[in-house]
Amino acid sequence: MSPHIETFEFDEISEPKVAKAISHYPAGKQASAVKTLLDLAQRQVGRMTGIAWLPQPALDCVAKRLAIAPMRVYEIATFYTMFNLKPVGKYHLQVCTTTPCWLRGSDEVVSACKKASGIDHFGGSSADGLFTLTEVECMGACVAAPILQVNDDYYEDLDTAKTEALLEDLKAGKPQPPAGSLAGRQSSAPISGQTVLTDKAE
């Protein structure tokens, strides 16, 4: 799905952000910038190849830049699910299946993702390289469960029809719709609409 990457260095777009991230920490504590640098590296690989992931040369570049052992970087990169250690599709579908989302129908979302993408298991990618499906833990948006994260964006209040329609639009090359509730919910308000402070105080 992605060309092999032999070497990696931060480019002119990433470099100012790398320097700024490191500058937030005192001398000797620059390792605290590791997650920021990993994110910048992953986004740069996305610009380079069309697929946002972290090949080993990128991990090693981060370690070198922070003057820490590569293993320290590998530990972070393997712990957080937002870091992709293998190539993913153009649209990375991350489905929350933790209890609140499950109670609100995450099984439907998973089934709809599999049907629309042709992927039959978590961790798999579609034959056309368009989608990768990943199971994730709580994404902190339980009020609007169930949640599907597509790349950086959350889509909320999903069901089978809404999920399939979203993926079919992406397959058709339509622009990715605005993130948020696909049921018209405003922020974290009740799905039925505002229920308090509807009248002026007497």
Q: What is the pLDDT of residue 1?
A: 45
Distance CA 155, CA 109 (A): 11
pLDDT higher than 80, residue 2: no
Segment 69-90 mean pLDDT: 94
pLDDT higher than 90, residue 177: no
Segment 84-97 mean pLDDT: 94
- Packing angle between helix 34-49 and helix 70-79, nearest 10 degrees? 80
Q: What is the pLDDT of residue 172?
A: 93
Measured CA distances, 141 to 17, 33, 57, 102 (Å):
28, 26, 34, 13
Q: What is the pLDDT of residue 200?
A: 58
Least confident of 2-6, 44-48, 97-101, 161-165: 2-6
Segment 28-55 mean pLDDT: 95
Longest dimension (CA), the chain: 71
b/e per residue, 154-163, with b = 16+ CB within 10 A? bbbbbeeebb
Q: How many CB atoms lie within 10 A of CB 131?
A: 25
Segment 63-88 mean pLDDT: 95
Residue 29: band (very low, low, confident or very high) from pLDDT cuts 50, 70, 90: very high
- pTM here is 0.82
Q: What is the pLDDT of residue 171?
A: 93
The percent of residues above 70 in pLDDT, for the chain, comes to 94
Helix/strand/coil for 154: strand
Express each pLDDT in 188-199 by its tens digit.
777 776 666 666
Distance CA 68, CA 4 (A): 25
Express each pLDDT in 126-172 by its tens digit.
999 999 999 998 999 899 999 999 999 999 999 999 999 999 999 99
The percent of residues above 90 in pLDDT, for the chain, comes to 77
Distance CA 117, CA 129 (A): 10
Q: What is the pLDDT of residue 199?
A: 60
HSE value, Cβ hemisphere, 13 Å, CA-based, for 156:
22
